[in-house]
Amino acid sequence: MSGTLSTQFHAYLRERHPQATGEGGAAGETQIALWDRFGLTAEVFAAEVAGFTGLERVSLRELMAASPAVSEFSDRFLREVLGYPHKNSTGAAVFAMADPTDQAVRRAAELVLGPNTLFQVASHEDIAVVLEQRLGGGEEAEMSPAQELRDDDIESLRDLASGAPVVRAVNDLIEKAVEMRASDIHIEPFSTGLVVRLRVDGLLRPIAAPAGVLPQAVISRIKIVAGLNIAERRLPQDGAARIRVGRAEIDVRVAIMPTQHGESAVLRILPKDRSQLVASRLGLSGRDDAALRRLITLPHGMIVITGPTGSGKTTTLATILSMLNTPERKILTVEDPVEYEIPGINQSQIKPAIGLTFASALRSFVRQDPDVIMVGEIRDSETAHVAVHAALTGHLVLTTLHTETAAAAVPRLLDLGVEGYLLRSTLRAVIAQRLVRQLCEHCKTPKPLDEETCRDDPRFGHLGLVPGDVTWHPTGCERCGQSGHRGRVGVFELLELTSNLRELIADSADGLAIDRLAIQEGMTTMLDDGVVKCRAGVTSASELLRVLVAR
């Protein structure tokens, strides 16, 4: 390699690892990047890395002659990190690596071999050859279909995941998410390492991944907390946990999914603060709030909440249940999963593996003499039929459905096989909703719309906004984390089934016709509700365009 090329190579490494011993990425990713950029061979790559880090360069012959110490590590771990543990001629522990800048791997090696572990640089090809000789077989031959990890590998991984560094890293991650008011934590493995993002007010924000710990150990720790099988890496797993963060206690729902570079985890944070389950926090207009309070006092019928995933349907349902929750009423729910635990309400979680589905639970519910039944979601024809018949036989049924608008719920239920005459008799109202980010009260600023803005984006016309209208804009301050937004609020449309609307419900109802007639009879659409909140400074016009108006 020429001196010029070597200088460029070192500059690249310094750019990627400013302190040379800082946090490194996966060895495979670093090598691929350098091969693409410089056309390096594995041998030249290893030589240059050794020169940059100041570590000893070890050859394949020396690795083969050394006494192996692979029994202390998982075969999968060594293959993934491109490392080979062995003893030198003096009996000292040595760990040969393809990427010695990966501090997480170095700490893991020191955890197993001891703090005095020596590190060497070897090419990835040499390490692959020596591991093939010492471990035997490729990765597919390493594990049988029935057993992915050996018992000692599982215990080693469990011990590593239970160690103080990993426990602290996961706890810090959850505390950070709670501090930032995040609803979800996304932990995703890529060839470069873990990527962590928090969903705050509906949008994902990247944050620094836990440093100094192995990605597998982080995922294993999450599995242990959620009561999942750490040895199972081939199938998705779902679990839950209750965690104390400071003085608060939170429920966490965990979903594990195998991906190309490992397992990803999504943690849904469910605060146990019941104070948020009040109608005033939903964001319903005065007219819609009064209509909802009247509708939920009906002795029977069905009320449907619609919207896409993450639009706040479950929170709206839980709020309605809290309003109905009195000693005089018996309330039963079947959910997937139970997100809000409400004292005084009998809540069940479906378990399809043992036959406990929405439909089967509903059939049992009607024999429990309830006044109110809540079904987490209508997903199939069977659940739709049972829910409608429960509403027909003297129960108030609350449920959710995935549709774009309130009017679209009618043809959707008909598509699921519900007869038109039954729907006319049971459906009382449909509430469609979305969530928009609220402007931070401490830093929002008013600003008149100018002609250029309205001309460049004609969607402002869809909102009924014209040049000169004063709208509020996010600015950013310490209280909102410089985002200009803090919290979310719902925008709603409440379609109440009047006698005129019921006449449109046939075996092939037209959702657009229902929508037009409902608007003529006074229904406030989600867009109209959003514009009112925009003019009041609750949210911004750009946020309404993002959520409600297509580009």
pLDDT for 168: 87
Kindly report which listed range (121-125, 212-216, 313-317, 487-491) carries the lowest average pLDDT score.
212-216
Distance CA(436)–CA(485), nearest Å, equals 10
Kindly report which listed range (127-131, 141-145, 151-155, 330-334) carries the lowest average pLDDT score.
141-145
Average pLDDT over residues 436-464: 86
Distance CA(521)–CA(423), nearest Å, equals 20
pLDDT for 372: 96
Average pLDDT over residues 350-359: 88
Using CA atoms, how far residue 455 sits from 310, 449, 458, 464, 472, in Å, is 32, 11, 6, 13, 19
Q: Which of 170, 214, 166, 173 is nearest to 197 (CA)?
A: 173
Would you say 27 and 124 are in contact if contact means Cβ atoms under 8 Å apart? yes
End-to-end CA distance of the chain: 52
Q: Could you tell me what percentage of the chain is helix, strand and coil, using 3-state DSSP and rounding each to the nearest 5?
A: 40, 25, 35
**Cβ neighbours, 10 Å, residue 404:** 15
* Per-residue pLDDT tens digits for 22-68: 344 434 444 444 444 555 667 778 888 888 888 999 988 888 889 89
pLDDT above 50 (res 469): yes
Using CA atoms, how far residue 76 sits from 94, 154, 224, 258, 309, in Å, is 19, 11, 20, 15, 37
| Strand (E) or helix (H) holding 109 | helix 103-113
**Strands of the 372-375 sheet, one edge to the other:** 346-349, 331-335, 372-375, 396-401, 301-306, 427-439, 485-496
> Which residues is 196 bridged to in the sheet?
187, 207
pTM confidence score: 0.67
Indicate the SS3 state at residue 399: strand
Distance CA(105)–CA(87), nearest Å, equals 18
Would you say 406 and 385 are in contact if contact means Cβ atoms under 8 Å apart? no
Would you say 532 and 441 are in contact if contact means Cβ atoms under 8 Å apart? no
Using CA atoms, how far residue 101 sits from 77, 119, 300, 323, 334, in Å, is 17, 11, 66, 57, 51
Indicate the SS3 state at residue 118: strand
List of residues 6+ apart from 355 with CB closer than 8 A: none
Just give the CATH number of 279-435+488-523: 3.40.50.300
**On the CB side of 239, how many CA atoms lie within 13 Å of its CA?**
19
Average pLDDT over residues 135-157: 47
CATH 1.10.260.40 fits 5-136, yes or no: no
Average pLDDT over residues 266-288: 82
* Per-residue pLDDT tens digits for 501-510: 999 998 777 8
Distance CA(342)–CA(344), nearest Å, equals 6
| Strand (E) or helix (H) holding 83 | strand 83-87
pLDDT for 297: 93
Residue ranges of the domains in the chain? 5-136, 151-270, 279-435+488-523
Q: Which CATH architecture has domain 151-270?
A: 2-Layer Sandwich (3.30)
Give the percent of the chain with pLDDT over 70.
87
Distance CA(113)–CA(118), nearest Å, equals 10
Residue type, 394: G
Q: What tokens appear for 232 in the block?
A: 């199972």
Could you check whether the bond before residue 446 is cis, i.e. omega within 30 degrees of 0?
A: no
| Strand (E) or helix (H) holding 85 | strand 83-87
